[in-house]
């Protein structure tokens, strides 16, 4: 890789395969530094990233998932562009999703989500997770091998969210097919409703139908609870607001969880000593997952748009600047985590990672992802021994070959073939 001043983070394939040396070089020069792409500042330090996450006054989330593409349609000018952001917010990609909202809209919708994800609903959902985990493991347990992402992590995490939101059983196979989690069965998707190939459009269309129908004819089911949830003051949200929350949970929760499970299995398969310690003491699994999130953060980049001219770590950041936070870089900041390039099961501050963000916009699905990860690892350890990376697919250690997702937003393996011995 060339020096950081020559690297286009958004297009360089070498960064996709190994972003950490690039992050380390950036951080060594300055944890808040301009990159090659015009108008973009990279934040690779832990304290600096937390500072940005905490300051919603100076930093807007309007570009959280799109970054500089396409950016505002007009040139930002002056030290306060708050009015400009509100004027053109609707033109930015996915502007109505929770992750891209600012206050007060974000606070109101976040409160709605808390009213939906109640402890009792999450407890019921966890009971479903155990059954789902076994149902997918049953499909490949006799073969002694499986591809983690496609055979388990994607379909499992999708159906967990489908159950959480009360998607009818008869529709779940179609959800899997449309959202790329499973190959469609014959006839799936051939109903009389025309559905776009865009997964977000499919989700929006399907949940609009669900919510409108449940508001007309309530039932004793989760979708009716979803349709009739109210703001704290008692007012009823517009249908599009509820649909947006459901769409956000599917779009964000499925992918992040699938990557967490895949990374966790990669670490288990490459480290027999860690695998054995978890077999001997299952109470270590939650700590193992926190260190996995620190070590291989599923989110490569999170973005903010500087609303007002401000400073971070002494660096002046003009209004209108795209701030690119790298959670995976912050989680390997040696000022925060000792020997960060080493996976340590006993790391005492692993839980302080920012893989799920921090502050008002911390991922609301974080607890759900952790539970899905814990249940999955429990059942893998229960039903498999000698979990190992497939040498047929990835080659022998230490010269493994892996393919990573070609994305500047997400970090994770595109596939992971695992061999194992089934438990009798």
pLDDT in tens, 280-311: 999 999 999 999 999 999 999 999 999 999 99
pLDDT value of position 255: 86
Total-model pTM: 0.93
Identify the pLDDT of residue 2. Answer: 57
73-131: per-residue pLDDT in tens?
A: 999 999 999 999 999 999 999 998 999 999 999 999 999 988 888 889 899 999 999 99
Q: Which string of b and e fits 272-286 if b means at least 16 CB within 10 Å?
A: eebbeebeeeeebbe
Nearest Cα neighbor of 12 from 35, 43, 46 is 35
CB 89 within 8 A of CB 61: no
Please tell me whether residue 64 adopts helix, strand or coil conformation.
coil
Region 197-224: mean pLDDT is 90
Per-residue pLDDT at 160 exceeds 70: yes
DSSP designation for 313: T
Note the pLDDT of residue 199.
77
pLDDT at 252 over 80: no
Per-residue pLDDT tens for 371-392? 999 999 999 999 999 999 999 9
- Find the helix packing angle between 154-164 and 169-178, rounded to 10°: 140
Tell me which DSSP letter residue 249 carries. I
pLDDT in tens, 413-422: 999 999 999 9
CB-based contacts of 246, cutoff 8 Å, min separation 6? 165, 203, 207, 226
Show the tokens assigned to 52: 């940005």
| Residue that the structure tokens 């989680």 belong to | 331
CA atoms within 13 A on the CB side of 218: 7
pLDDT at 1: 52
Q: Using the predicted structure, report yes or no on whether residue 253 has a pLDDT greater than 90.
A: no
Burial letters 119-156, b for 16+ CB under 10 A, else e = eebeeebbeebeebbeebbeebeeeeebbbbbbbbbbb
pLDDT in tens, 50-81: 999 999 999 999 999 999 999 999 999 999 99
Q: Report the alpha-carbon distance of residue 238 to residue 223 in Å, rounded.
A: 15
In this predicted structure, what is the pLDDT of residue 185?
A: 33
- Which pLDDT value is given to residue 193? 36
């Amino acid at each position: 890789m060339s020096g950081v001043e020559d690297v286009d983070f958004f297009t360089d394939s070498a960064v996709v395969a190994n972003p950490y040396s690039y992050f380390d070089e950036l951080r060594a020069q300055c944890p808040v530094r301009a990159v090659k792409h015009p108008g973009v500042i990279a934040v690779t330090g832990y304290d600096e990233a937390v500072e940005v996450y905490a300051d919603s006054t100076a930093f807007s989330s309007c570009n959280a998932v799109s970054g500089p593409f396409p950016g505002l349609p007009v040139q930002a000018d002056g030290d306060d562009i708050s009015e400009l952001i509100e004027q053109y917010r609707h033109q930015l990609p996915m502007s109505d999703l929770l992750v891209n909202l600012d206050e007060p809209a974000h606070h109101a919708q976040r409160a709605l989500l808390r009213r939906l994800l109640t402890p009792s609903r999450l407890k019921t959902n966890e009971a479903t997770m155990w059954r789902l985990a076994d149902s997918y493991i049953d499909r490949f347990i006799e073969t002694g091998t499986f591809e983690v992402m496609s055979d388990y992590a994607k379909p499992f995490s999708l159906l967990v969210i489908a159950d959480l939101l009360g998607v009818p059983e008869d529709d779940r196979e179609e959800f899997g097919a449309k959202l790329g989690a499973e190959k469609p069965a014959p006839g799936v998707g051939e109903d009389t409703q025309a559905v776009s190939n865009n997964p977000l459009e499919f989700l929006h269309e399907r949940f609009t139908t669900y919510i409108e129908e449940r508001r007309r004819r309530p039932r004793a089911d989760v979708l009716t609870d979803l349709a009739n949830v109210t703001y704290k003051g008692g007012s009823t949200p517009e249908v599009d607001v509820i649909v947006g929350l459901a769409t956000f949970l599917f779009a964000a929760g499925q992918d992040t969880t699938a990557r967490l499970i895949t990374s966790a299995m990669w670490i288990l398969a490459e480290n027999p000593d860690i695998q054995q310690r978890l077999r001997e003491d299952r109470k270590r699994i939650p700590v193992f997952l926190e260190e996995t999130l620190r070590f291989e953060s599923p989110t490569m980049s999170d973005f903010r748009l500087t609303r007002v001219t401000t400073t971070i770590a002494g660096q002046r950041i003009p209004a209108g600047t795209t701030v690119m936070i790298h959670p995976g870089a912050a989680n390997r900041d040696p000022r925060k985590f000792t020997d960060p390039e080493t996976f340590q099961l006993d790391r005492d501050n692993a839980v302080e990672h920012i893989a799920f963000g921090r502050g008002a916009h911390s991922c609301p699905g974080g607890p759900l992802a952790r539970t899905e990860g814990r249940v999955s690892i429990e059942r893998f350890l229960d039903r498999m021994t000698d979990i190992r990376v497939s040498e047929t697919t990835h080659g022998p250690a230490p010269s493994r070959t892996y393919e990573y997702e070609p994305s500047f937003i997400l970090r994770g393996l595109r596939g992971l073939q695992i061999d194992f011995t089934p438990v009798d």
